[in-house]
A and B are shown apart, each in its own frame.
Chain A
Amino acid sequence: MIANYGYKDGSGEYYISIDTDKCIGCTADRACLTACPKQMFEIITDDYDDEVAWIKKPNCRTLAYDCADCKPSGGYTSLPCMTACTPGAIKHSW
């Protein structure tokens, strides 16, 4: 399942997509949990009893601000969460 967490507002579309099929049986030792400076990721058991990552609810409403430090203007050339997720389950829409 592709789970899109986030929102669209007047300033743009801010979604983090997690491909749960790649997330199940993570081969990166759940590196997203520690890679995100804001610790937005959390492991939950989904409706199909699989352990997958999702974005914590409060962060889903503030992604544009929470992720700003990791975008190029914040000095990063690649996003820490996407780099850490070697299975390639995490994508940003912006």
Chain B
Amino acid sequence: MITAGIDMGSRSIKVVLLEELKVDGAPQLKYGVKKAYIMMPGDLDQDVAADKAYNEALAEAGLKREDVKAVFATGAGRKQVAFSAEGITEMTAGAKGANFMFPMARTVVDVGAEEGRGMKTDAEGKAIDFAGNEKCAAGAGSFAEAMSRALQMTLKEFGDASLKSDKSIPMNAQCTVFAESEVVSLIHSSTPKNDIAKAVLDAVASRVCAMVRRVGIDGEVVLIGGMVHNAGFVQSLKTAMGVDAVSLPDMPEYISALGCALIAAERQH
């Protein structure tokens, strides 16, 4: 049996095609990812983009629509996936996917392009407590991206640069627009780029950490979402949360789509 999970993020669309293997046991043995596919929708309408991403994922996996038993959608634009049987919240999908990758995970931190959230999960990967910041994107990837542009660096360079700094420069602005003016002030005062990069990522980590602390930090901490690729942010988050280790999945941006596909598979039984 094949099921699909589609994560309609604010920046990209992720599709995971999940195959149920003929093995009994833990979910990690029972299910395997057949295809993980990501697409940037560009100027396409969300419903058209969802259709295109799904078709391309199926084509790359050598599958047809009728081969897929159920399609579930998650993410901010999940309601635009007209062909999905059900919409799942980002919290439920993220918690499920993180639990599949790290069964001992009890705290899940999800930082994507425009939203960040903290979740506490139980042993089955069910979200039992969650908090997000519904107001602005200052605790998410777009903020870091905007600031890296101000420094004329790629996101990768930005993250790496922050690791080379050991300074702590507080950024007080709570809004991306005002924070950018703080960055400009730092540039004008000849603050090294490495220190500015660290200041920005520390600020993002601090906002994310405030959300996570609302639900409490408990057991293994897993970070999912695109910001996992930013090594500087991961370090800043560890420092802000006061933990020695944060578990990072191999394909962090696909975890919510994976969780969605897992829920779709479980609901077929």
Chain A residues within 8 Å of B, Cβ to Cβ? 1-10, 13, 15, 46-48, 57, 60-61, 93
A8 with B215: CB separation less than 8 A: no
A4 with B130: CB separation less than 8 A: yes
A8 with B207: CB separation less than 8 A: yes
A1 with B134: CB separation less than 8 A: no
A8 with B133: CB separation less than 8 A: yes
Q: Scan residues 100-135 of chain B and give those whose CB is less than 8 A from a CB of chain A.
A: 126-135
Asked whether any CB of chain A lies closer than 8 Å to the CB of B191, the reply is no
**Cα of A47 to Cα of B78 in the assembled complex, Å:** 13
Name the distance in Å between B208's Cβ and chain A's nearest Cβ.
11
Name the distance in Å between B131's Cβ and chain A's nearest Cβ.
4
CB-CB < 8 A to A9: which residues of B? Answer: 135-136, 174
The contact of B214 among A10, A15, A48, A61, by CB within 8 Å, is A15
Instruction: Tell me what chain B mostly uses at the interface: helix, strand, loop, or mixed.
Output: mixed
Chain B residues within 8 Å of A, Cβ to Cβ? 88-89, 92, 126-136, 172-174, 207, 210-211, 214-215, 263
CB-CB < 8 A to B133: which residues of A? Answer: 7-8
The contact of A4 among B89, B131, B207, by CB within 8 Å, is B131
Using A1-B127, A15-B214 as known contacts, say yes or no to A6 and B134 having CB atoms under 8 A apart. Answer: yes
Give the number of residue pairs across the A-B interface with Cβ within 8 Å. Answer: 51
**Cα of A15 to Cα of B126 in the assembled complex, Å:** 21
The contact of A61 among B128, B134, B207, by CB within 8 Å, is B134
Using A1-B129, A8-B207, A10-B174 as known contacts, say yes or no to A61 and B135 having CB atoms under 8 A apart. Answer: yes
23 of the cross-chain contacts (CB-CB < 8 Å) are: A1-B127, A1-B129, A1-B130, A2-B129, A2-B215, A6-B131, A7-B135, A7-B136, A8-B207, A8-B210, A9-B135, A9-B136, A9-B174, A10-B172, A13-B214, A46-B89, A47-B88, A47-B89, A47-B92, A47-B263, A48-B92, A61-B134, A61-B135
**Cα of A62 to Cα of B61 in the assembled complex, Å:** 44
Name the distance in Å between B242's Cβ and chain A's nearest Cβ.
18
CB-CB < 8 A to A4: which residues of B? Answer: 129-132, 214-215
CB-CB < 8 A to A15: which residues of B? Answer: 131, 214
Name the distance in Å between B68's Cβ and chain A's nearest Cβ.
20
Name the distance in Å between B6's Cβ and chain A's nearest Cβ.
15
B128 with A2: CB separation less than 8 A: yes
**Cα of A10 to Cα of B174 in the assembled complex, Å:** 6
CB-CB < 8 A to B134: which residues of A? Answer: 5-7, 57, 60-61
Q: Determine the residue in chain A with the shortest Cβ distance to B129.
A: A2
Name the distance in Å between A46's Cβ and chain B's nearest Cβ.
8
> Which interface residue of A4, A60, A61 has the most chain B CB atoms within 10 A?
A4
CB-CB < 8 A to A1: which residues of B? Answer: 126-130
